[in-house]
């Protein structure tokens, strides 16, 4: 192992501490009674509060000044200044804890526990006067030192920032320590799912779990990851969606079920795509896609209010307003609006010719539905910044959606597009088992033509439909995409703690 000079020094300090009888990784409980943020927000000298506090966290800076020093402690809530006096933490004749341990064997990044009392320094900074100090963890690798300075105009300047995306995503544990703002995006992501869960629970829907390992993949058009189960000697697939299992529960008698699911799709990676992603799927009996549009508007508006206190959210250079009602286009209306071409009556050959005129290069193996999807994705989606419902998709694009009640050749489906990307997909669910079998068989034909994302035929799901599924509305919302918007993040990697990465190159 190639070690730097600092790494070697820290290892020597670890050994020296142990020789002194100080365990650099103690097992004893250190009870924390206060957080840095709490003290800084609530300490009042006139109240004489916070006079007995215990804090724990990383040592982030030190200013050694002989018999006393100032340092900075960072816990999960933020940073606070601490004052360390030799005579307080090392009373009597044995001054090693201060002179040797604190001054020479502690480093930036080490975890310490302190006990003391809050006070205000002469320059007015709320701090903690340390009466006791213990080492909780000796760090063996140095943290990147990010320097921040505020100029005479109050503008903060950052030097030596830990900003390389590959390093940040690969070493998220370092990113969270030295870039405190990163944590806020993940806190908001959790608040988002909590808000959504609260909304669905208050409506009486049941949160459930369905299999991740599936004998057949289904519920979406995507390539799966596959694995092998040794005991059963069979191929299994990581789910690409949980739709077909949740519909089985509607058949079984539940009126409303939802699941926050990890799904996996063996496809390309980009700032909008990660092979492992999270979505929530919801299925409610006796409802249709018009009803589901109203639910989506109401729920996402609530999420914006819960996270930001307003329906307006800044995303890049745009202010996106999630207040109801949202704009609505049919799929064909959107394409005609942005391309000035009406494709609604075109067959596959005519559409290929139209795509060619639009300078859109297509895979020769895809069918009419995928061609429409490619035209929409290229010429419409990027222009839809404010939340917009795209409705009434061609039947070829939606093998699991019910045929439109009024418009032949279309299905009752919508997607919500926001900031140029899809954030949800929903149907009036197809519950006619004969029609569903025919749609699956059409997908099999597309697969034979070379469409690697075509759906497979699921006999057990068809059997479930034959027992009868009530009219049902279904919805899938991409949590990662919605989190990007709600946290003003430019990349999906910024809202995933540990995004998928290429193998790390050896140093």
Looking at the chain, the number of H-run helices and the number of E-run strands are 15, 20
Integer CA distances (angstroms), 361 to 353, 354, 374, in order? 11, 11, 9
Cβ-contact 413, 289 below 8 angstroms: yes
**What is the spatial distance between Cα 345 and Cα 409, in angstroms, rounded to a whole number?**
10
| CA proximity to 420, closest of 386, 391, 382 | 382
Q: Which helix (H) or strand (E) holds 158?
A: strand 156-159
List of E strands, 233-386: 234-238, 256-264, 276-285, 312-315, 318-321, 327-330
Question: Annotated binding residue at 38?
Answer: no
* Residue 299 CB contacts under 8 Å (≥ 6 apart), including other chains: 196, 199, 200
**What is the spatial distance between Cα 46 and Cα 120, in angstroms, rounded to a whole number?**
11
| CA proximity to 427, closest of 471, 380, 459, 369 | 471
Residue found by looking up tokens 């035209």 in the block: 375
Structure tokens at 198: 């609260």
- Angle between the N-to-C axes of helices 180-202 and 479-486, in degrees from 0 to 180, rounded to the nearest 10: 120
Integer CA distances (angstroms), 422 to 264, 381, 390, 401, 455, in order? 17, 8, 10, 17, 20
With vertex at residue 224, the alpha carbon angle to CA 266 and CA 430, rounded to the nearest 5 degrees, is: 120
Question: Annotated binding residue at 415?
Answer: yes
The conformation of residue 492, written as its DSSP 8-state character, comes to G
* Residue 317 CB contacts under 8 Å (≥ 6 apart), including other chains: none
Q: Which residues are annotated as a binding site for Mg(2+)?
A: 415, 422
Q: Which residues are annotated as a binding site?
A: 415, 422
């Amino acid at each position: 192992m190639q070690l730097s000079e600092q790494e070697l020094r820290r290892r020597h300090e670890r050994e020296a501490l142990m020789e002194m009888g100080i365990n650099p990784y103690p097992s004893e409980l250190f009870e924390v009674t206060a957080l840095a943020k709490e003290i800084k927000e609530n300490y009042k000298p006139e109240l004489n509060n916070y006079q007995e506090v215990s804090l724990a966290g990383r040592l982030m800076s030190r200013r050694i000044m002989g018999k006393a020093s100032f340092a900075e402690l960072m816990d999960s809530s933020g940073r606070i200044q601490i004052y360390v006096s030799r005579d307080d933490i090392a009373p009597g004749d044995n001054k090693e804890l201060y002179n040797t341990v604190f001054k020479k064997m502690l480093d930036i990044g080490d975890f310490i526990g302190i006990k003391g009392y809050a006070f205000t320094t002469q320059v007015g900074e709320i701090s903690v006067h340390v009466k006791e100090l213990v080492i909780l963890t000796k760090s063996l690798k140095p943290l990147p030192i990010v320097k921040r300075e505020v100029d005479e105009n109050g503008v903060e300047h950052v030097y030596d920032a830990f900003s390389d995306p590959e390093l940040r995503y690969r070493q998220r544990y370092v990113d969270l320590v030295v870039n405190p703002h990163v944590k806020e995006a993940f806190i908001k992501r959790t608040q988002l799912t909590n808000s959504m869960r609260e909304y669905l629970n208050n409506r009486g829907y049941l949160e459930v779990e369905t299999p991740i390992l599936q004998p057949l993949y289904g519920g979406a058009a995507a390539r799966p990851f596959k694995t092998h189960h040794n005991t059963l000697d069979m191929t299994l697939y990581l789910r690409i969606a949980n739709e077909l299992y949740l519909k089985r529960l509607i058949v079984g008698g539940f009126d409303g079920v939802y699941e926050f699911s990890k799904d996996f799709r063996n496809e390309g990676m980009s700032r909008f795509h990660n092979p492992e992603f999270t979505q929530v799927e919801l299925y409610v009996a006796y409802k249709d896609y018009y009803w589901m549009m109203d639910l989506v508007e109401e729920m996402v508006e609530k999420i914006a209010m819960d996270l930001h206190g307003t329906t307006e959210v800044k995303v890049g250079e745009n202010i996106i307003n999630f207040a109801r009602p949202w704009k609505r286009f049919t799929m064909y209306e959107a394409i005609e609006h942005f391309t000035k071409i009406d494709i609604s009556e075109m067959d596959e050959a005519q559409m290929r010719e139209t795509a060619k005129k639009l300078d859109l290069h297509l895979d020769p193996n895809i069918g009419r539905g995928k061609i429409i999807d490619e035209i929409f994705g290229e010429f419409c989606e990027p222009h839809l910044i404010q939340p917009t419902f795209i409705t009434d998709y061609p039947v070829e694009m939606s093998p699991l959606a019910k045929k439109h009640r009024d418009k032949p050749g279309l299905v009752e489906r919508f997607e919500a597009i926001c900031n140029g990307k899809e954030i949800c997909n929903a149907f009036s669910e197809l519950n006619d088992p004969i029609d569903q079998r025919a749609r699956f068989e059409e997908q099999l034909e597309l697969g034979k033509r070379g469409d690697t994302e075509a759906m497979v035929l699921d006999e057990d799901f068809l059997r479930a439909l034959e027992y009868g599924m009530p009219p049902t509305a279904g919805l899938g919302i991409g949590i990662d995409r919605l989190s990007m918007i709600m946290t003003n993040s430019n990349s999906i990697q910024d809202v995933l703690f540990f995004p998928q990465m290429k193998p790390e190159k050896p140093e």
